[in-house]
Amino acid sequence: MGLNIKSIMERLPHRYPMLLIDRVTEIIPRQKITAIKNVSTNDPFMAVGQCMPGTLIIEAMAQSAALFSFADEGTESRPEQGQAVYYFLGIDDARFINPVTPGDQLRIEVQALRLSRAICKYRGQAFVEKDLVAEATILCAVRNSPE
């Protein structure tokens, strides 16, 4: 299962310039997601420097994890898409190995380590071609939307 930008925007509240996922190439429910971010000189964060900030790579992993959580159809008692808010709770073991520069295609792979109805733990890795550029363990909370 893959998602185009329209489907991504239906599932995430983020919009440009903070939407950091362009396409989802693979979702295996309860296992992993693979997403793509095309890095361009037109990205607003490129005005600050010549590479994508590590914090935004981690944010792209968190957005991928949220998309992945919506594909987890078998989890009972979890809020449904559009009724859930995902809170970014923590980052562990973050490493930034190589810079990500304009023209790079960032491939984000997020694997489920622990899934529950309220707290989820993921292992995210970001690649440019076959080279690992960043990795982290992220923790998210799933709550009903306050609306």
**Predicted pLDDT at 85:** 79
- pLDDT for res 125: 98
- In CATH terms, 5-144 corresponds, of 3.30.1600.10, 3.10.129.10, 3.30.420.40, 2.130.10.10, to 3.10.129.10
| Boundaries of every domain in the chain | 5-144
Residue 80 CB contacts under 8 Å (≥ 6 apart), including other chains: none
CB–CB of 90/119 below 8 Å?
no
pLDDT under 70: residue ranges of the chain: 70-83, 147
Closest to 145 measured CA to CA, from 90, 86, 88? 86
Residue 69: the pLDDT is: 77
- pLDDT at residue 117, as a whole number: 82
pTM value surpassing 0.95: no
Compute the distance between CA of residue 44 and CA of residue 35 in angstroms, rounded to an integer: 20
